[in-house]
Amino acid sequence: MPPCLLRCFRIDGAGTALDRNSQIGRSARTEALAGPPVARHNLFMSPSARRFESLHIAVTGGGTGIGRAIALRLVSEGARVSLLARDRARLEKVAGIARAIACDTRDERAVERAFSEACEHSGPLYALVANSGIGGANAPGDADRFEDLVATNLTGTYHCLRAAERRLLPGPRTRHLVAIASVLARLGVGGYTGYCASKAGVCGLVRALAVELAPRNVQVNAVLPGWVETDMAQAGLEDMARALRTNVDEARKLALSSVPLGRMAKPEDIAGIVAWLISDDARGVTGASLDANNGALMS
């Protein structure tokens, strides 16, 4: 018998050998394990494993892409989710699963009003996922987008983290603040000074807040996605294609040529990391900037 096969015997004394490997091969559960991430999530997360049951979690930029995937994941695990975003039309598309509040995170007073409304409706916060952000290039001149990129990605994130901090559940239970940054927080890309600077700033902000809020048992972390299948990534590929005078398919191939796993992440992949970060399984993880880039940059 090959060494990789397991032989087991019935405990009723009959002594009949069972080939457990062949049974595993026919298992529907094993088939599901080989399936897509959503299928695997549903397989393991039984209705009794709703880690965030009745906990209030706010997600900014929750109308599309990564934010939407995070909201869906948290709702599936029992959370009461409040969605905040600048684009009301996009929010309406997910309003059926969570409370949606239009808010421009660059405006500190608007952020305060939005978080007050969310907490008046759903109670103090267990966690915030600060995901609102914009991408794209910028260049010197009258049309330079640098200030808008920094105002949205860094200052807006700061406004939201502070607003959430003031509305967290009382301790001693661990509470969580998570910011979505980018692999470009660690890299320099020509023409993307505003985006790179703003996302690097988010990582510095997270580290400082992690130290500041540690005595209150608040864990503060950042997630740094690489290429993710989102509208923002598509726009980035289109920019790359124009710069290289090629098509988007060729730009995608070039972008993924330096990614060891050879693929873009799905928004659901990032949602899974966030769900882990704000769970009890991540106890003690704070001040971290977690890379999620399919190996494009390894620290």
Q: How many other CB atoms sit within 10 Å of the CB of residue 50? A: 15
CA dist 58 and 185 (Å) reads 24
Three-class SS state of 149: helix
Q: How many other CB atoms sit within 10 Å of the CB of residue 73? A: 24
Where are the extended beta strands (E) located within the chain? 7-9, 17-19, 56-60, 80-85, 99-102, 127-130, 175-180, 218-225, 289-292
Three-class SS state of 91: helix
Catalytic residue list: 195
Q: Which of 127, 9, 146 is nearest to 60 (CA)?
A: 127
